[in-house]
Amino acid sequence: MTLTRTCHWCFKIGKRKESIYFYRDVLKMTLLRHEEFDKGCEATCNGPYDNLWSKEMIGYGPEDGINHFVLELTYNYPVKSYTLGNDFRYLEIESTKAIDGVKTMNWPYTESGEYIEVKDPDGYMIKIKPGDDKITKCSLNVSNLNNTIHYWCDILGAKLYDKTDKTALVGFGDTHCKLEFTDIGEPIDRKTGFGRIAFSRPLEEVKKVSEKIQQNNLKILHSLRALGTPGKATCTVVILQDPDGVEICFVEEENYCKLREVDPNAEEKLNESLEADKSDEWYDRKRDGKEQA
C-alpha cells in the first residue's frame, strides 16, 4: 500500500474559461501544468473522443500523490457540455481560503453544517470546509458496496478506513485523498460526464496489478501501454474499471514523477491556448446550420 500514490481525478469540462476562473480564482488553486494534444488518447484519457484536446492540472500543491491530490481538467475541442450521471457525488476540499474566495467572488453557494456547497461551471459538486488547502475526498455512488470493497481492498490493496451499512471510506495512505463509496442500491449510469482516478506505482507493481486483474477475470479497459506527452516523459499505464465502471489509471512512478513536475510556464501556455481556441466559432456555425455535424 505504501508504494501507491493517489494522484488526481479527471473532470471533463466544456466551459474551459469559466472552469479555470472557478478553480484558480475562486477556489484559489494553482495551475500546475498545461498540455495540448493533437489527437485523441489511445487510452481514452480524454474520453471516447478522437479530436484535439487539452488538459490543465490544478491543485493546492504539487501532485505528489501523498500530500497533494490534484485535478485534471480535460477539455475536448469543441465539446460544449457533458451529461452528468449518478456516479459522482462530490469532491471534498479543506480550504479556508477557498471558502473566502467563494464568498468574496460571489460564487453561488449553500451552507450545510460545517461545509459550504458549490457547483463548478459544468455542474460537479464541491463541498468545502475550513482547513489548510487540500483535496481530501472523492465521493462516488456504487450499486453494491460489498463488491466495491472487495475490488478496491482485496484486489487493488486499498485500506478500509471506515464502513457503515451504506458507505465505505478507502484509501492508500493516511495523508492521501480518500475515496468514499455510497451504496444507492441501483445501477450506476455514468452518462458522458464520467471521470477517472489516477494512481502511480513502480512499474513492476503496475504490471502486477494488471496480472492480478487478468487472473481474476476483471475488466481491463486498456491493457499495458506506453503513453507519450509532447516534449515530456512517456509513461506505461494500465486502465481498469471497477464493478460500477469507474475508470482507474495505474501509471508507472518512475517516469510519471518527471511528467508531473510543476511547469513555471503553465499560465503562459494556457493563455496561448485560450487565445487560439476557435471552438466558439465552430459551435456557432454548427448551431446555425452552416457546418455539418
What is the residue extent of each domain of the chain?
Answer: 5-286
Residue with cell 470546509: 129
| Whole-structure pTM value | 0.94
What is the 8-class DSSP label of residue 52? Answer: -
Residue 291 pLDDT grade (very low, low, confident, very high; cuts 50, 70, 90): very low
Q: Using CA of residue 57, residue 169, residue 146, residue 117, what is the dihedral sign?
A: negative
From the options 3.40.50.720, 3.10.180.10, 3.40.190.10, 3.30.420.40, give the CATH code of 5-286: 3.10.180.10
Summarised one tens digit per residue, pLDDT across range 10-66 is: 999 999 999 999 999 999 999 999 999 999 999 999 999 998 999 999 999 999 999
For residue 133, the number of C-alpha atoms closer than 13 Å in the C-beta half-sphere is: 15
Evaluate whether 109 touches 118 at the Cβ level (below 8 Å): yes
Q: Which residue in 3, 126, 2 sits closest to 58, CA to CA?
A: 126
- From CA 1, how far away is CA 11, in angstroms rounded? 26
Is 50 exceeded by the pLDDT of residue 1? Answer: no
Is 80 exceeded by the pLDDT of residue 278? Answer: no
Summarised one tens digit per residue, pLDDT across range 151-163 is: 999 999 999 999 9
Evaluate whether 156 touches 47 at the Cβ level (below 8 Å): no
Q: In what order do the strands lie in the sheet with 220-228?
A: 30-37, 53-59, 70-76, 5-13, 196-201, 247-252, 234-241, 220-228
| pLDDT attached to residue 284 | 57
What are 236's strand-pairing partners? 226
* Cell numbers that stand for 153 in this block: 481492498
For residue 12, the number of C-alpha atoms closer than 13 Å in the C-beta half-sphere is: 25
Q: How far apart are the first and last CA of the chain?
A: 47
Residue 6 pLDDT grade (very low, low, confident, very high; cuts 50, 70, 90): very high
What is the 8-class DSSP label of residue 143? Answer: S
